[in-house]
Amino acid sequence: MHASGAAAVSPETFKGVFSRLASGVAVIGFEREGRKHGFTATSLTPVSVEPPMALFCVDNSNESHQHLKLYTPVGISILSKVQSELSSRFAGKAAVERYTGVATIEHTPGIPLLSGAIACMEGTITRLVPAGDHTIFLCQVSWAQAEPEGAPLLYFSRQYHQLASLPQPGAKGPPSRSQQGMTRSLVAVIASAAPSVRTAAAIQYTCRRAGEVAPGLRTDIVNLNEMPLPLCDGRKPTDIVSVTRVVEKIGAASSVLLATPIYRGTYSAALKNLLDWLPLESLEGKRVGLIASGSTPHHYLMIDMALRPLLAWFNAVLIPGSIYLTKDDISHDGPSETTAANLDALAQALVAEAPRWAHRTRGARPRLRPRRTPGRHRRRHTPWSAP
């Protein structure tokens, strides 16, 4: 023991011990002389629920330490498993503006939050407590929001990790979302660049029915007419706030409903553009329902001939049956009796628990050639073999 009573623990030993404490990763952002600044922190800790307070610790030698004062507003973003590059960027010493090219959300002007974070908070520093070579910053939280789904980035043993989802003992497949106590969610996309009547009415009706069939279901309608996405031009989805929002919503959903008007005999450019932005895995193993609407019945085969092959590439679990609507089937006032029955069936299929076989498709690429069938059942001609 030292004369002070403290055990002789070297900085290496102390840091080594804490390297064994796995933690989530946050970026704390604020405005510094009119410009955004932020840094990576694992020291974020909840302190009080009433009133909501959190703390984080800052090394006294860090640049942020000079700028964080009493009553400085801060934005705290808890990083998702795919944001390790952002964590490194906000911890790096490179002389770049850390926020350059980074998609941010400003819930309150002047308080930067990172797009794609799994949870965000805003608050004000209410107390500074000197603590050795660090300072503890207490922060009163004024606004907070957690995404219902999404996995965290973890920091352990000086490396980034992700949570491994272990199967339940004795379970044949991964636990279902309801077994995990997770809310099921349906994201429905109105893939029309122009204001739509039939497409929107079909989506609204189906979402309402799905909510009735599955109480507690979260439904979210993305209207590409109200939230147009820029043309997919090779930028990363995370570079653009609107794209990030939509991509993340769809990625976090358990089922997806896509509705497109017919333009020039096929699905809309707005839908293709959305699919161009979507990472392949965002629809993988998910139930996806399809609706198309046209001014005439001529293009009723579009779903089967054009849309299903396109979505098969995403390894989505496509709900059988095509719903093709004309003005006789649905209007502002709602669907006809037959259409209502078809949309009801679609709503039920969208929220049903995923069948076991659906899990097996996860991670596998689509098989382009069928297995050879032995003996006399062997197929000679396959209309869908790879080119």
**Rule CB under 6 A: which residues touch ligand FMN?**
25, 39-43, 56-59, 62-64, 87, 91, 93, 155
Locate tokens 């497409």: which residue? 199
Contacts of 270 (CB under 8 A, 6+ apart): 191, 192, 193, 224, 225, 228, 229, 260
Contacts of 63 (CB under 8 A, 6+ apart): 37, 39
Q: Which is nearer to ligand FMN, 62 or 266 (CB)?
A: 62
Q: Which is nearer to ligand FMN, 56 or 314 (CB)?
A: 56
Q: Which is nearer to ligand FMN, 57 or 303 (CB)?
A: 57
- Min dist CB 67 to ligand FMN, Å, is 8
**Whose CA is closest to 185, among 292, 279, 287, 308?**
287
User: Which tokens in the block code for residue 312?
Assistant: 């098969």
Q: Which is nearer to ligand FMN, 39 or 277 (CB)?
A: 39
Q: Which is nearer to ligand FMN, 76 or 343 (CB)?
A: 76
Single-letter residue type at 21: L
Q: Which is nearer to ligand FMN, 58 or 270 (CB)?
A: 58
- Min dist CB 62 to ligand FMN, Å, is 3
- Min dist CB 99 to ligand FMN, Å, is 12
**Whose CA is closest to 99, among 77, 123, 66?**
77
Q: Which is nearer to ligand FMN, 93 or 369 (CB)?
A: 93
- Min dist CB 292 to ligand FMN, Å, is 47
- Min dist CB 15 to ligand FMN, Å, is 12
Q: Which is nearer to ligand FMN, 56 or 277 (CB)?
A: 56
- What sign results for the dihedral spanned by CA atoms 280, 282, 283, 285? positive
- Min dist CB 60 to ligand FMN, Å, is 9
Parallel/antiparallel/unpaired status of strands 104-105 and 113-114: antiparallel
- Surface-to-core class of residue 301, CB atoms within 10 Å of its CB (0-12 exposed, 13-18 middle, 19+ buried): exposed
- Min dist CB 151 to ligand FMN, Å, is 17
- Min dist CB 126 to ligand FMN, Å, is 18
